[in-house]
Structure 1
Amino acid sequence: MTPSTTAARRALVTGASTGIGAATVRLLAAHGWEVVATARRVERLAALAAETGCQWVAADLQEQGDIDHLAERVLDGGRLDAVVNNAGGALGADLVADGKVEEWLTMYERNALAALRVSQAFLPALRERGGDLLFLTSTAAHGTYPGGGGYVAAKHAERVIATTLRQELVGEPVRVIEVAPGMVATEEFALNRFHGDRARAEAVYAGVAAPLVAEDVAECVVWALERPSHVNIDCLVVRPRAQATNTLVARG
């Protein structure tokens, strides 16, 4: 599909207040999509709407009541063609032996269960009229690394939701797409992971000539959504050229 053929299509993007989510909202809007953005931070959503013309609904995806309200608002607004499950994030980089159970639980809630709840809320409409479920996972969903156990476990779980759904929905008019980025330098991901420690956050990207940025991943998301309806991008893994694996990164 070309941008000109998608003018009537409508998408929901979760985790839209920052990073990849916000970049995806911007690019979809630029391609003529109607976009509904959701996240917890009202002021950021309002600013994004003023910039892009998107609609927005504030929601905490760890709360089923918020998701029910989100689904009601979005589906009352007309046809929905795509759901981009982008919300998530990492907390901490402890070894498994020292991992904080409450952080593991929060990561599972924000990554796997948020995607599950959102998908369940919108699947009936997508199955009835056709559409796309896109899961923004991570290369952490495909391999592990020391200090990443909690995030890796949560992202593996999210990936399994997508791969299982694809089998369960085969023959129905719903595409299940996974986009799995590697190292992406965004304003908040590493900062949140290290609880506001900016020095540790900046060290993640130190010496890397060109990590991915949010706009790189947004282009992959929009490209996958704009393929002809019979083409399913099962899984697109995207890394910067400087990164060969989760742990092997060229640094200058």
Structure 2
Amino acid sequence: MGSLDGRRVVVTGASSGIGAAVARAAADAGARVGLLARRADRLEALAAEVGGRAGVADVTDAAAVTRAVDELAGALGGVDAVVAAAGTMHLGAVSETDPQRWREVFDVNVHGLLATARAALPHLGEGASWVTVSSMSGRRVPSAAGGVYAASKHAAHAVDETLRREAGARGVRVTTVAPGFVATDLMAGDEPGREDVAAFRGRMHELGLTPEHVAAAVVHVLGLPPEVCVVEYALVSSAQQRG
């Protein structure tokens, strides 16, 4: 992985899963990290582990995200990169799903992404990087049960295309990292007792990448020379490819 010596990197969704793995990998590569998530206890523990700064906020609260990003930028002396890794997933066919589930998915995966971008863009200048951790589901709809999640990730890809036009014009590199299955607890509390959800969760853990695999991809992107912008970095495990 490339060196991030001295780079100031803010990571959302940093209290667990891919976000936590990115924070650790960036710190190992020499970055100074700012961590943003809503679970204060986990966030403070990780900040202590990696020597980073913690900013507690729910990405669905735009005002709170702006305050947290501004505070982290002040503590770090600026921001060179933002990795937007906050996300959630619920499964279910449109005809069978509580509309509140739709709102939860879009609030985090789309509105939260937009709120983070709005907060971060004033701090990102020439040579800075923005990375969205999206999904292969942002490129196709894998199943009827995954359709709402896929719709949110298609929107995330569209947000990055927009940011490329808005911030790319002033030298900010915008990258979408799109993994396939990843063995995380993204669906840990989803629909207890539903066999289809349990089976899908099992496939994610059996066939998926680890969070560390995705974190390595993110650090690779961040460590490239400033004249190189990766538009999209799509990756799946060899096991998922075979499956």
Q: State TM-score, norm by structure 1.
A: 0.88
1:14 corresponds in structure 2 to 12
Distance change >3 Å, CA 23–CA 124, structure 1 → 2? same
1:182 corresponds in structure 2 to 180
1:220 to 200, 217, 220: 217
Residue 137 of structure 1 contacts residue 181 of structure 1 at CA under 8 Å; is this kept in 2?
yes
The whole-number CA distance in structure 1 between the counterparts of 2:205 and 2:46 is: 29
1:110 to 102, 108, 111: 108
Which one is further off, 166-175 or 48-57?
166-175
1:134 corresponds in structure 2 to 131
1:164 corresponds in structure 2 to 162
Cα distance, 1:72 vs structure 2: 2.1
1:100 to 91, 98, 101: 98
Query: Tell me, which stretches of 5 or more residues in structure 1 are unaligned?
Result: none
Cα distance, 1:125 vs structure 2: 1.9
2:80 corresponds in structure 1 to 81
What secondary structure sits across from 2:132 in the alignment?
strand
The whole-number CA distance in structure 2 between the counterparts of 1:113 and 1:230 is: 30
Distance change >3 Å, CA 14–CA 201, structure 1 → 2? farther
- Percent of aligned positions that are identical: 34
The whole-number CA distance in structure 1 between the counterparts of 2:227 and 2:110 is: 27
What secondary structure sits across from 2:82 in the alignment?
strand
The whole-number CA distance in structure 1 between the counterparts of 2:166 and 2:13 is: 26
What secondary structure sits across from 2:170 in the alignment?
coil
Deviation by residue 1:162-188 (Cα, 9 ceiling, x = unmatched): 0122133343210000000101111x1
Distance change >3 Å, CA 208–CA 215, structure 1 → 2? closer
Equivalent AA in structure 1 for residue 131 of structure 2: L
What secondary structure sits across from 1:180 in the alignment?
strand
How many residues are treated as equivalent by the alignment?
240
1:34 corresponds in structure 2 to 32
Residue 58 of structure 2 contacts residue 65 of structure 2 at CA under 8 Å; is this kept in 1?
yes
Equivalent AA in structure 2 for residue 86 of structure 1: A
Q: State TM-score, norm by structure 2.
A: 0.91
Q: CA RMSD in A?
A: 2.1
Residue 191 of structure 1 contacts residue 197 of structure 1 at CA under 8 Å; is this kept in 2?
no
2:53 corresponds in structure 1 to 55
Residue 190 of structure 1 contacts residue 201 of structure 1 at CA under 8 Å; is this kept in 2?
no
Distance change >3 Å, CA 190–CA 28, structure 1 → 2? same
The whole-number CA distance in structure 2 between the counterparts of 1:123 and 1:207 is: 33
Distance change >3 Å, CA 170–CA 13, structure 1 → 2? closer
Query: Tell me, which stretches of 5 or more residues in structure 2 are unaligned?
Result: none
The whole-number CA distance in structure 1 between the counterparts of 2:111 and 2:78 is: 25
Cα distance, 1:242 vs structure 2: 2.2
